[in-house]
Structures are given as structure tokens and as C-alpha cells.
Amino acid sequence: MSGVADKRNPVLDCCGGLNNVDYSKVDMSVMEDVLKHIDVYDPRFCVAVIAIIFNPFFWNVLIRPHDSQWSQTVGAQTTVARWEHRTRGLTRLFGGPYLACYCLGTLIILLNVYRSHSMTVAMKAQARWEVMASPEVFYTGAALMALGSVLVVTSFLALGFTGTFLGDYFGILMEEKVKGFPFNVTENPMYWGSTANYLGLAFMNASPVGLVLTVVVAISYQVAIIFEGPFTEDIYRQRAQCCKHK
């Protein structure tokens, strides 16, 4: 093909194309309408945001390691579970890896319950958006919650308690990577199932603040995945190398 653009069908480059947009004519009424129903200074909204952000950070970016070699391996920040993987501190405290994992998992569940409660309180405290107050939106929300629940429950059944709640960081490793449903649909069904649940709850309550909080949940989970994925893969890679040397 010729490198010369067809004058009859001119091709706009991305920057030139964006520069040619007259943003003064963009209809911002929908966004303005949404923002009118959200009070970001409401203490209940702030508590919900803090609860959402704290949960994944608790086990992903909370504790800094002091071992320079460890820092070079997994990065400058680590987590409660990663600290356990390095020091076995919780295992020694509770007398075994399974009890330690069960206790940390229970704490994570309680934190998630509080997060859900704080989000529900924030949704009920702020105004509904009449645009969302329709049977279609409500049933869409119900379908999202059903889908999210399926992903969460089937993920838990496939992984078990220790597989779900960071058992590999305690040395409780699975024999092989789970590849069946729902992991053949999405790589992180627990996270995205929970996100679908919150989005569905926001739809069912016609809550614009619920939509904003769901976005915060999705971003927090995406950050968690960035930290968790490579580290978990490294744990199983180290086990595979150890098995080869036996």
C-alpha cells in the first residue's frame, strides 16, 4: 500500500483528531446531574472510601520489609501475608500455618463485611438518581448481583478457604493451578464477582454514590491484582524449582 493518504478519505492522527474536537459543545448535563446527587464531603461516604481502599492494602501494601534481598525480589513494599511468607511470624504465633491462615482469613472476611456495611450506609444516606429508578435498571442490578454471587461462591468452592485467603503465603500450596469454572471465564473471579455485586447493589438502589464507590472498589482490586499476581506466581515457581532439585 502507498504511504500517501487518500485525499478522498483523509486519515486523522489521534492527536490532531482530538485537537479538532470542540469540547465546549460536549453535553456534560448527565455528569453534572450525577454529581449533584453525590456529597463527597459526607463522613459516611469518606468512611466507605477508606474501608474500600484499606482492605486490599491491608494484605498488599501495608508492611515494608527490612530484608534488602527480599525487597529486590518482590519490590519495595510488602503485605501482612507476604511478611508471613518471609518470616512465618503468624505461623509461630498461632502454632501452625492452617490456624494462622484461618485467623487472617476470618479477619479479611470481617473487614469485607464492614466495607459492605459502610457502602450500604453511604448509599442510603445520599440521594437516589431518578434516571436509575426504573424496573429495567433494578432487574439489571439483580442480574449483576446473581452473576457476582455465582463467581464468588464458585471461586471459593474451587479454591477452598486456604486457597481463597492467601494460604500459599503460609506455605499451604495447591497441587496445581485451578483452571476450571470460574477461572476459565476470568482470572480473578472473586474480585470481579464482588465488584459485580456492588455494581448491582448500586443499580437496585438507584444510587449514583454507589456507582462511584463501585469504581473505587474496581480500582482497588486492580491495584491488588498488580501486587498479588507476580508474587503468587513467584511462590509456585520457587516450589517448582525446589521439586526439580530433589
- Which residues fall in the annotated binding site for S-adenosyl-L-methionine? 146-148, 228-229
DSSP class of 213: H
Read off φ and ψ for residue 65, nearest 5 degrees. Answer: -80, 160
CA distance 9 to 159: 54
CA distance 232 to 58: 17
Burial class (CB in 10 A: 0-12, 13-18, 19+), 169: buried
Task: Tell me which residue of 141, 138, 149, 142 sits closest to 192, measured CA to CA.
Answer: 149
- The binding site comprises 146-148, 228-229
Residue 28's contacts (CB-CB under 8 Å, 6 or more residues apart) are none
